[in-house]
């Protein structure tokens, strides 16, 4: 069957209209909470991330699992591991990190996984000292609500609230700000308790307090779980405040010239760039006094509950457009999605709904969201869109952190690539385009050594590892340009394996981190092959199809999928890149830059 682009784009529009209508109706309802990351059957237990699939699609088998609820139980778990020479990793209730960092590895009887799911009892607020001390398993939303009740605010947080305090600081999670201490949560950490292996006389495990000026805190703030178990975190707070937020949906012609100014003028600025739509969305976001009227919230569209059939039909549509090689169908979807986002201001609400800019609300309601997380026993038909128990969204997430002064050139390069074949970015624009955020220089050894600009983008991941994706060459080129031409640093909690190649060389204080690690955990109890692979930026062996899933950069056609017409070729703008590009051997009348011509 051959479908015309017009027909495909009609299909895309019809599906989207249905999706949008249903979203609007169910958008505020609660949902089935995400699954536990550890699932067991009669023979074994397996750890997964929240997407249900690791980068390499291999299982992480867990041999012993414990759920301590007090600091002493945590200490006893570490003591048990020390006595028995076990490898140890910690995982939070939902495990939202994409790389396999929380997998302890090793064979049966040789490792222990500690879950912080039940370790979330204590939140102590020192109102006059403006500090909160919190158990590492405390969910971000619980912390924010408690702090706001006390009339205070946590200034920095990731946009997604389904994370634990211990997990989010361990991977350098962030919001967006160049003001004050900046957008990274770890730069608001002013103390920490760490549980480390100990001598027999110490009961095989000890609790170490790292105060504000302890040099080890610079290693422990962002540690990828490799320095010991974080039991408590002290975070600095500020007096409660509100924010006033407006989005400007406008053209994208000047992003590269104005991003610095935008971030300097607005405390919580960000920019979302939809390259195929030639649209930039500037977030004007400033602090306002508490007595400013307004009780709005940001309930980000992408983090709302979706009905299962809707999530599944969006996935089915994407899959269909992939199989049909319909770039125009994808562009129609991207266009409809963007129109809807503009209509509902991405999920900002003045009250029950969005009625107009600016939306003013408390910091605790404006920074971070995730309404799809909360359970209602009566609504098991609603989930987060990527819930692995349904056939919903399945995607990659690339997040590159650029030195601020190189970012403009990156944008210029992406624009060149976009202008060669404008529609090839539609696949990214169906998700959130390129989300651009701002981070300040950090003293954390694995934090950003200089003021930086972060870019994230999501894109379709196929259900099967050897299935190539539409325009994957374009996204691979952008990815390699970011990490190897501009030497951007990968976000520790996101990305495909190739992004971490030689990452250790990008951190001037990397050796200091390793020195601290060797001092605190001389036996390497908290290291595994998986965390080593990431932190040391190990390349690993290449195999057939490895480039399709970002497990390698191709150097031969076999690393792509020549049987399906995907071969290894140089990038178009960044010629050092090596990407998997569609070149069907029967390319007689084929117009390679415009796959739609094939199905007209």
Ligand X SMILES: *[C@@H]1O[C@H](CO)[C@@H](O)[C@H](O)[C@H]1NC(C)=O
Among 8, 131, 331, 360, binds ligand X (CB under 6 A): 131
Which segments within 252-296 are labelled E, that is strand?
A: 270-274, 279-288
The site partner of 66 among ligand X, ligand FAD, none (C-beta below 5 to 8 Å per kind) is ligand X
With CA atoms as reference, report the closest residue to 472 among 405, 353, 359, 553. 553
Paired residues of 457 in beta bridges: 398
The site partner of 191 among ligand FAD, ligand X, none (C-beta below 5 to 8 Å per kind) is ligand X
Of 239 and 416, nearer to ligand X (C-beta) is: 239
Residue nearest to ligand X (CB): 191
Quick one: which H or E segment has residue 426?
Answer: helix 426-430
Of 158 and 447, nearer to ligand FAD (C-beta) is: 158
Paired residues of 298 in beta bridges: 348
- Quick one: which segment of 289-297, 374-382, 535-543, 590-598 binds ligand X (CB under 6 A)? 289-297
Quick one: which H or E segment has residue 459?
Answer: strand 452-460
The site partner of 77 among ligand FAD, ligand X, none (C-beta below 5 to 8 Å per kind) is ligand X
Cα 481 to Cα 408, 503, 555, 577: the distances in Å are: 13, 15, 16, 7
Contact 233, 169 (CB under 8 A): yes
The site partner of 80 among ligand X, ligand FAD, none (C-beta below 5 to 8 Å per kind) is ligand X
Q: Is 248 in the site for ligand X (CB under 6 A)?
A: no
The site partner of 582 among ligand X, ligand FAD, none (C-beta below 5 to 8 Å per kind) is none
Dihedral of alpha carbons 163, 428, 480, 442, sign: negative
Omega before residue 358 within 30° of 0, cis:
yes
Q: CB atoms < 10 A from the CB of 544, how many? A: 15
Rounded Cα distance between 304 and 242, Å, is 23
Count Cβ atoms within 10 A of the Cβ of residue 179 and give its class: 0-12 exposed, 13-18 middle, 19 or more buried: middle
Of 112 and 219, nearer to ligand X (C-beta) is: 112
The site partner of 211 among ligand FAD, ligand X, none (C-beta below 5 to 8 Å per kind) is ligand X
Q: Is 191 in the site for ligand X (CB under 6 A)?
A: yes
The site partner of 158 among ligand X, ligand FAD, none (C-beta below 5 to 8 Å per kind) is ligand FAD
- Quick one: which segment of 121-129, 316-324, 342-350, 567-575 binds ligand X (CB under 6 A)? 121-129
Of 42 and 585, nearer to ligand X (C-beta) is: 42
The site partner of 163 among ligand FAD, ligand X, none (C-beta below 5 to 8 Å per kind) is ligand FAD
The site partner of 209 among ligand X, ligand FAD, none (C-beta below 5 to 8 Å per kind) is ligand X
- Strand duo 38-40 + 45-47: pairing: antiparallel
Q: How far is the CB of 527 from ligand X (least distance, A)?
A: 19
Q: Is 234 in the site for ligand X (CB under 6 A)?
A: yes
Paired residues of 263 in beta bridges: none
Contact 245, 278 (CB under 8 A): no
Q: Is 201 in the site for ligand X (CB under 6 A)?
A: no
Longest dimension (CA), the chain: 78
Quick one: which H or E segment has residue 476?
Answer: helix 472-480
Q: How far is the CB of 231 from ligand FAD (least distance, A)?
A: 7
Q: Is 116 in the site for ligand X (CB under 6 A)?
A: no
Q: How far is the CB of 162 from ligand FAD (least distance, A)?
A: 7
Of 170 and 501, nearer to ligand X (C-beta) is: 170
Q: Is 291 in the site for ligand X (CB under 6 A)?
A: yes
With CA atoms as reference, report the closest residue to 474 among 428, 519, 513. 428
User: CA 287 from chain center: how many Å?
Assistant: 25
Of 303 and 574, nearer to ligand FAD (C-beta) is: 303
Q: Is 133 in the site for ligand X (CB under 6 A)?
A: yes
Q: Please count the residues of the chain.
A: 600
Contact 533, 500 (CB under 8 A): yes
Of 147 and 580, nearer to ligand FAD (C-beta) is: 147
Q: Is 228 in the site for ligand X (CB under 6 A)?
A: no
Q: How far is the CB of 89 from ligand FAD (least distance, A)?
A: 5
The site partner of 97 among ligand FAD, ligand X, none (C-beta below 5 to 8 Å per kind) is ligand FAD
Contact 439, 402 (CB under 8 A): no
Q: How far is the CB of 364 from ligand FAD (least distance, A)?
A: 16
Of 170 and 561, nearer to ligand FAD (C-beta) is: 170
Of 31 and 77, nearer to ligand X (C-beta) is: 77
DSSP letter string over 314-382?
Answer: HHHHHHHHHHTT-HHHHHHHHHHHHHHHHHTGGGEESSSS--SSPEEEEHHHHS-B-GGG---TT-TTE
Site residues (CB under 6 A) for ligand FAD? Answer: 50, 89-92, 94-97, 101-102, 116, 136, 158-160, 163-164, 166-168, 170-171, 173-174, 224-225, 229-230, 493
Rounded Cα distance between 196 and 521, Å, is 7
Among 14, 57, 121, 126, binds ligand X (CB under 6 A): 126
Six token digits for residue 381: 């038909």
Contact 437, 183 (CB under 8 A): yes
Q: Is 129 in the site for ligand X (CB under 6 A)?
A: yes
Which residues of the chain form contacts with ligand X (CB under 6 A)?
64, 66, 77, 80, 112, 124, 126, 129, 131, 133, 191, 209-212, 234, 289, 291-292
């Amino acid at each position: 069957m051959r479908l015309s682009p017009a027909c495909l784009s009609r299909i895309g529009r019809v599906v989207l209209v249905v999706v949008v209508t249903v979203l609007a109706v169910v958008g505020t309802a609660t949902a089935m909470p995400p699954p536990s990351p550890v699932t067991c059957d009669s023979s074994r237990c397996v750890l997964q991330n929240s997407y249900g699939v690791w980068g390499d699609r291999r299982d992480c088998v867990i041999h012993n699992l414990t759920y301590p609820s007090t600091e002493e139980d945590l200490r006893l778990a570490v003591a048990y591991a020390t006595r028995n020479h076990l490898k140890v990793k910690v995982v939070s209730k939902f495990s939202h990190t994409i790389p396999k960092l929380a997998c302890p590895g090793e064979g049966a009887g040789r490792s222990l996984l500690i879950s912080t799911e039940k370790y979330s009892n204590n939140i102590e607020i020192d109102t006059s000292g403006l500090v909160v001390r919190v158990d590492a398993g405390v969910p971000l939303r619980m912390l924010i609500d408690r702090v706001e009740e006390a009339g205070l605010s946590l200034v920095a947080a990731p946009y997604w609230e389904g994370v634990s305090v211990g997990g989010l600081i361990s991977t350098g999670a962030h919001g967006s700000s160049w003001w004050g201490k900046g957008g990274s949560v770890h730069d608001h950490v002013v103390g920490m308790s760490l549980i480390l292996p100990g001598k027999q006389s110490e009961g095989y495990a000890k609790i170490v307090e790292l105060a504000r000026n302890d040099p080890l805190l610079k290693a422990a703030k962002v540690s990828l779980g490799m320095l010991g178990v974080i039991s408590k975190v002290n975070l600095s707070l500020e007096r409660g405040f509100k924010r006033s937020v407006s989005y400007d949906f406008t053209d994208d012609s000047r992003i590269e010239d104005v991003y610095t100014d935008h971030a300097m003028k607005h405390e919580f600025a960000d920019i979302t760039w939809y390259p195929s739509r030639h649209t930039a969305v500037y977030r004007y976001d400033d602090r306002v006094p508490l007595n400013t009227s307004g009780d709005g919230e940001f309930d980000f569209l992408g983090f709302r509950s979706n009905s299962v059939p809707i999530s599944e039909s969006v996935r089915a549509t994407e899959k269909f457009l992939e199989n049909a090689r319909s770039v125009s169908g994808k562009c129609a979807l991207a266009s409809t999605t963007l129109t809807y986002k503009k209509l509902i201001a991405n999920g900002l609400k003045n009250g029950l709904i969005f009625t107009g800019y600016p939306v003013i609300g408390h910091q605790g309601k404006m920074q971070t969201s995730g309404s799809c997380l909360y359970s209602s026993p009566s609504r098991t038909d609603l989930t987060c869109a990527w819930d692995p128990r349904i056939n919903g969204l399945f995607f990659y997430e690339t997040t590159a952190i650029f030195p601020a002064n190189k970012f403009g050139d990156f944008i210029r390069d992406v624009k060149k690539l976009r202008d060669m074949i404008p529609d090839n970015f539609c696949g990214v624009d169906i998700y959130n385009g390129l989300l651009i955020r701002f981070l300040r220089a950090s003293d954390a050894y694995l934090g950003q050594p200089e003021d930086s600009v972060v870019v994230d983008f999501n894109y379709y991941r196929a259900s099967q590892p050897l299935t190539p994706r539409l325009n994957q060459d374009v996204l691979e080129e952008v990815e390699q340009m970011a990490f190897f031409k501009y030497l951007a640093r990968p976000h520790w909690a996101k990305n495909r394996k190739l992004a971490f190649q030689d990452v250790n060389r990008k951190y001037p204080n990397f050796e200091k981190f390793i020195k601290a690690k060797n001092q605190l955990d001389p036996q390497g109890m908290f290291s595994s092959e998986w965390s080593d692979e990431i932190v040391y930026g190990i390349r690993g062996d290449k195999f057939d199809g490895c480039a399709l899933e970002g497990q390698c950069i191709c150097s031969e056609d076999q690393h792509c999928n020549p049987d399906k017409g995907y071969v290894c070729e140089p990038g178009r703008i960044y010629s050092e890149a090596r990407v998997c590009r569609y070149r069907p051997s029967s390319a007689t009348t084929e117009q390679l830059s415009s796959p739609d011509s094939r199905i007209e």
